[in-house]
Amino acid sequence: MANLKEVKNRIQSVNSTQQITKAMKMVAAAKLRRAQDNITRMRPYAAKLASLLQNLSADGEQEESSKYAVQRPAEKILLMVVTSDKGLCGAFNSNIFKATLRQIKEKYQAQFDVGNVTIMPIGKKGLDYFRRREYKMIDDFWNMFSPVSFEKASEAAQFAMDGFVEGRFDHVEIIYNEFKNVATQVLQTEQFLPVKPAEVEAGNKFEVDYIFMPSREDIVVDLIPKSLKIQVYKAVLDSNAAEHGARMTAMDQATENAGELLKELRLTYNRTRQAAITKEILEIVAGAEALG
């Protein structure tokens, strides 16, 4: 049985850890509130832009839209993998890594074997993970969360867009955690390029007739690149909110576990202390009997 000093030191250590995890939970909750507001405001705007993008890209007459919708054999692949900068957020990052490796194995193993799969990590954890494993990487856009900004997301999106147009990439996907609620993050793998054409449901073959001002050409030139950049920005905002939710949940669980461990340690401390007192009493009684 452990002595009193060892148990007391462990109680102090666990108590300090519990205070840290409780503070981290409160910080994550404060950051989550802001991040959740940002992604909630962004989603309707991004969804409408994506809808417009698909409709415009389906029109082959527009060169600006069609160059991002060119369908080529998927020989050169770019995976934009969104992780976090910090840990202590449960399985948030490990789920992304597993999803990325699974995507490569199931869809792009042949391209990977010949060195045609490139990873663009967004977040320091992704950068470290794929760098240690010596994956082919583009490591210029990982620092996107301090702070999150549309300008940083635009630079990463523009790089992928230019690479697609120039033929350096044939297929671009984004892998990230979508924020659903505090306790739930949904893994998403979205096709970024080429742009998917608008889908027409069976029996619903009408087309949306938009009125373009100032002109269709001017709007297409501005809207298509902006919509693609918004798609990346939305994924980053979603991942940011999901990260804080995952960290808040993980720290709450850690705080509860520390509380349970403290109960066990205090019970062990009391038992050890009682055993020591009982032993001292027995020694005193035995000594008194010997003298008698």
Question: Is the omega angle on the peptide bond into residue 225 within 30 degrees of 0, that is, cis?
Answer: no
Residues 6+ apart with CB under 8 A from 202: none
Q: Return phi, psi of residue 261, to 5°.
A: -65, -40
Q: Return phi, psi of residue 84, to 5°.
A: -110, 170
Query: How many Å apart are CA 40 and CA 35, to the nearest integer?
Result: 9
H-run or E-run covering 160: helix 150-165
Least Cα distance to 241 among 200, 290, 185, 284 occurs for 185
Of 7, 35, 77, 89, the active-site residue reads: 89
Residues 6+ apart with CB under 8 A from 129: 83, 93, 97, 121
17 classed as catalytic = no
Q: Are 245 and 179 in contact (CB under 8 A)?
A: yes
Q: Are 52 and 231 in contact (CB under 8 A)?
A: no
Least Cα distance to 190 among 232, 153, 242, 141 occurs for 232
Question: Is the omega angle on the peptide bond into residue 214 within 30 degrees of 0, that is, cis?
Answer: yes
- One-letter amino acid at 192 equals F
Residues annotated as catalytic (active site), given as ranges: 89
